[in-house]
């Protein structure tokens, strides 16, 4: 091969970059490990603090079993704690759910987990009823300090900027729970399994979801009475009412469009009267 041919061959050969030049680097300047950096605020991943909290929760009055204790920090170092517990209470009748979750939240507030900007408490009763309470510690630290006392020595009080003005009843926990309490008295209802307010999303409107377990009665009648309770509730804003009735043989479900601009509003208002809230 002549010199001219060798030059042509080299020119046509594919260019393979150096592997060293392809190694990604982290924003701090070092080689990228492929993993997100560990949280550095407060106690970091708080592994030992979470274990201590789990042991304390197991001895809280009214708690039958601790199912979940998980802690995480997001990209803004906002600390979020999630708790899942089974309670000793049989059903919603005679059970003050808020008092139960407050007792649990106080133990979390008094833990050494830091940062602790938000707490989500999910509880289940023996009847199968599920409820959830959210505590925005970072938004209202003074309120929770007054309720639960000071945080442990050396652990700062959380503080984050609120996300904006709350619309309607906010998370509507108390309003949704009031529907559950009233549903217990409907003839044929054995237990209320859920009564949850689900805020709107880019694809769905605000909804109130109620599910009960009933005996062998007219499930459609039970569904209708629960839907009326939801309509007369103070849950707002409300676009949808979803009702499920579980029996030994079947599951009956109904979805009502209660958007004031929707097609069903006029008929529902004529049937059950005006809603107590806008």
pLDDT number for residue 146: 95
What is the mean predicted confidence (pLDDT) over 151-165?
Answer: 74
Using the predicted structure, report yes or no on whether residue 4 has a pLDDT greater than 80: no
Give the least confident one: 90-94, 100-104, 108-112. 90-94
Model confidence at 105: pLDDT above 90: yes
Rounded Cα gap, residues 176 and 230, in angstroms? 8
pTM score, whole prediction: 0.73
Per-residue model confidence (pLDDT) at position 254: 94
Instruction: Compute CA distances 157 → 101, 172, 188, whole Å.
Output: 20, 26, 48
* pLDDT at residue 24, rounded to an integer: 46
Flag whether pLDDT at 174 surpasses 70.
Answer: yes
pLDDT of residue 5: 35
What structural domains and CATH numbers belong to the chain?
47-148 (3.30.70.1350), 173-272 (3.30.70.1350)
Phi-psi region of 254 (alpha: psi -120 to 50; beta: other; left: phi over 0): beta
User: Can you tell me the mean pLDDT for 221-241?
Assistant: 95
Q: Are residues 119 and 134 in contact, defined by beta-carbon separation less than 8 angstroms? A: yes
Over residues 2-12, the mean pLDDT reads 35
Q: pLDDT tier at 77 (50, 70, 90 boundaries)?
A: confident
The pLDDT value given to residue 27: 44
Assess contact for 235 and 265: CB atoms under 8 A: no
């Amino acid at each position: 091969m002549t010199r001219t041919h060798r030059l042509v061959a080299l020119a046509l050969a594919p260019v393979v970059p150096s592997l060293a030049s392809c190694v990604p680097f982290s924003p701090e300047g070092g080689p990228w490990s492929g993993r997100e950096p560990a949280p550095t605020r407060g106690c970091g991943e708080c592994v030992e603090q979470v274990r201590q909290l789990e042991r304390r929760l197991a001895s809280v009055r009214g708690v039958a079993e601790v199912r979940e204790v998980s802690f995480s920090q997001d990209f803004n170092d906002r600390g979020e704690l999630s708790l899942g517990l089974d309670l000793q209470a049989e059903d919603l009748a005679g059970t003050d759910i808020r008092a139960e979750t407050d007792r649990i939240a106080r133990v979390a507030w008094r833990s050494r987990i830091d940062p602790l900007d938000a707490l989500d408490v999910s509880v289940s009763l023996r009847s199968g009823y599920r409820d959830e309470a959210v505590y925005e510690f970072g938004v209202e630290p003074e309120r929770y300090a007054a309720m639960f006392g000071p945080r442990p020595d050396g652990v700062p009080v959380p503080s984050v900027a609120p996300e904006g003005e709350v619309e309607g009843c906010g998370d509507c926990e108390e309003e949704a729970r009031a529907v559950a309490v009233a549903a217990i008295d409907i003839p044929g209802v054995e237990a209320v399994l859920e009564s949850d307010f689900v805020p709107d999303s880019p694809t769905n409107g605000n909804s109130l979801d109620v599910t009960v377990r009933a005996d062998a009665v007219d499930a459609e009648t039970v569904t209708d009475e629960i839907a009326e309770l939801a309509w007369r509730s103070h849950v707002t804003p409300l676009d949808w009412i979803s009702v499920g009735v579980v029996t030994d043989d079947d599951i009956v479900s109904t979805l009502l469009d209660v958007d004031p601009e929707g097609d069903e509003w006029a008929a529902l208002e004529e049937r059950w009267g005006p809603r107590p809230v806008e």
